[in-house]
Amino acid sequence: QVQLVESGGGLVQAGGSLRLSCAASGSIFSINIMGWYRQAPGKQREWVAGITSGGTTTYADSVKGRFTISRVNAKKVYLQMNSLKPEDTAVYYCNAEVQATYGMEYVGYWGQGTQVTVSS
Protein backbone atom coordinates (compact mmCIF):
# COMPACT_ATOMS: atom_id res chain seq x y z
CA GLN A 1 0.00 0.00 0.00
CA VAL A 2 1.05 3.55 -0.77
CA GLN A 3 -0.15 6.65 1.00
CA LEU A 4 0.19 10.25 -0.14
CA VAL A 5 -0.43 12.89 2.50
CA GLU A 6 -0.86 16.54 1.56
CA SER A 7 -0.66 19.50 3.90
CA GLY A 8 -0.36 23.26 3.77
CA GLY A 9 -3.70 24.35 2.40
CA GLY A 10 -5.73 27.15 3.91
CA LEU A 11 -7.33 30.54 3.42
CA VAL A 12 -5.30 33.39 1.99
CA GLN A 13 -6.02 36.77 0.45
CA ALA A 14 -5.45 37.44 -3.22
CA GLY A 15 -1.80 38.16 -3.86
CA GLY A 16 -0.70 35.98 -0.96
CA SER A 17 1.30 32.77 -0.86
CA LEU A 18 0.93 29.22 0.37
CA ARG A 19 3.19 26.19 0.26
CA LEU A 20 1.72 22.74 -0.13
CA SER A 21 3.62 19.60 0.69
CA CYS A 22 3.08 15.98 -0.28
CA ALA A 23 4.80 13.04 1.34
CA ALA A 24 4.62 9.47 0.07
CA SER A 25 5.01 6.42 2.26
CA GLY A 26 4.42 2.68 2.15
CA SER A 27 5.56 0.02 -0.31
CA ILE A 28 7.72 2.14 -2.58
CA PHE A 29 10.74 1.08 -4.62
CA SER A 30 10.84 4.20 -6.74
CA ILE A 31 8.69 7.14 -7.76
CA ASN A 32 8.77 8.54 -11.27
CA ILE A 33 6.65 11.64 -11.68
CA MET A 34 5.07 13.49 -8.78
CA GLY A 35 2.55 16.15 -9.50
CA TRP A 36 -0.27 18.37 -8.35
CA TYR A 37 -3.80 18.57 -9.66
CA ARG A 38 -6.71 20.70 -8.52
CA GLN A 39 -10.47 20.59 -8.66
CA ALA A 40 -12.67 23.62 -8.22
CA PRO A 41 -16.38 23.30 -7.34
CA GLY A 42 -18.38 22.21 -10.36
CA LYS A 43 -15.29 21.69 -12.50
CA GLN A 44 -13.20 18.75 -13.60
CA ARG A 45 -9.90 17.95 -11.98
CA GLU A 46 -7.06 19.65 -13.83
CA TRP A 47 -3.32 19.18 -13.88
CA VAL A 48 -1.28 21.96 -12.29
CA ALA A 49 2.40 20.97 -12.19
CA GLY A 50 4.69 17.97 -12.31
CA ILE A 51 8.27 17.02 -11.56
CA THR A 52 10.21 13.98 -12.70
CA SER A 53 12.66 11.97 -10.64
CA GLY A 54 15.39 13.80 -12.52
CA GLY A 55 14.03 17.20 -11.51
CA THR A 56 12.41 18.28 -14.77
CA THR A 57 9.40 20.48 -14.07
CA THR A 58 6.33 21.35 -16.14
CA TYR A 59 3.45 23.70 -15.40
CA ALA A 60 -0.02 24.49 -16.62
CA ASP A 61 -0.14 27.84 -18.40
CA SER A 62 -2.51 29.19 -15.76
CA VAL A 63 0.10 28.89 -13.00
CA LYS A 64 3.36 29.34 -14.90
CA GLY A 65 5.49 32.03 -13.29
CA ARG A 66 3.50 31.94 -10.06
CA PHE A 67 3.78 28.35 -8.83
CA THR A 68 6.97 26.35 -8.29
CA ILE A 69 7.13 22.60 -7.77
CA SER A 70 10.21 21.17 -6.10
CA ARG A 71 11.33 17.77 -4.95
CA VAL A 72 12.67 17.64 -1.40
CA ASN A 73 13.70 14.01 -1.76
CA ALA A 74 12.52 10.93 -3.64
CA LYS A 75 9.24 10.83 -1.71
CA LYS A 76 8.35 14.43 -0.94
CA VAL A 77 7.44 17.43 -3.04
CA TYR A 78 6.45 21.01 -2.40
CA LEU A 79 4.22 23.33 -4.40
CA GLN A 80 5.06 26.96 -3.67
CA MET A 81 2.15 29.12 -4.74
CA ASN A 82 2.71 32.87 -5.04
CA SER A 83 0.55 35.71 -6.32
CA LEU A 84 -2.54 33.65 -5.63
CA LYS A 85 -5.79 34.56 -7.35
CA PRO A 86 -9.40 33.78 -6.42
CA GLU A 87 -9.54 31.45 -9.43
CA ASP A 88 -6.84 29.31 -7.79
CA THR A 89 -9.41 28.27 -5.19
CA ALA A 90 -9.76 24.50 -5.33
CA VAL A 91 -8.97 21.24 -3.61
CA TYR A 92 -5.38 20.40 -4.49
CA TYR A 93 -4.42 16.76 -4.93
CA CYS A 94 -0.99 15.17 -5.02
CA ASN A 95 -0.35 12.38 -7.51
CA ALA A 96 2.60 10.02 -7.76
CA GLU A 97 3.62 7.27 -10.18
CA VAL A 98 4.96 4.55 -7.90
CA GLN A 99 6.89 1.37 -8.59
CA ALA A 100 6.33 -0.95 -5.63
CA THR A 101 9.19 -3.32 -6.38
CA TYR A 102 11.90 -3.49 -9.02
CA GLY A 103 10.56 -4.43 -12.42
CA MET A 104 6.92 -3.82 -11.64
CA GLU A 105 4.87 -1.34 -13.59
CA TYR A 106 4.33 2.17 -12.26
CA VAL A 107 0.93 2.76 -10.68
CA GLY A 108 -0.66 6.13 -10.00
CA TYR A 109 -1.76 7.08 -6.48
CA TRP A 110 -3.67 10.06 -5.15
CA GLY A 111 -3.66 11.93 -1.88
CA GLN A 112 -6.81 12.93 -0.04
CA GLY A 113 -6.59 16.56 -1.11
CA THR A 114 -6.08 19.84 0.70
CA GLN A 115 -8.34 22.89 0.36
CA VAL A 116 -6.92 26.16 -0.89
CA THR A 117 -9.22 29.18 -0.71
CA VAL A 118 -8.17 32.56 -2.07
CA SER A 119 -10.35 35.50 -1.10
CA SER A 120 -10.64 38.63 -3.21
| pLDDT tens-place string over residues 2-42 | 999 999 999 999 999 999 999 999 999 999 999 999 999 99
| pLDDT tens-place string over residues 76-113 | 999 999 999 999 999 999 999 999 999 999 999 999 99
36 burial type by CB count under 10 A (0-12 exposed, 13-18 middle, 19+ buried)? buried
Q: What pLDDT does residue 25 have?
A: 96
Q: What pLDDT does residue 80 have?
A: 98
| pLDDT tens-place string over residues 64-82 | 999 999 999 999 999 999 9
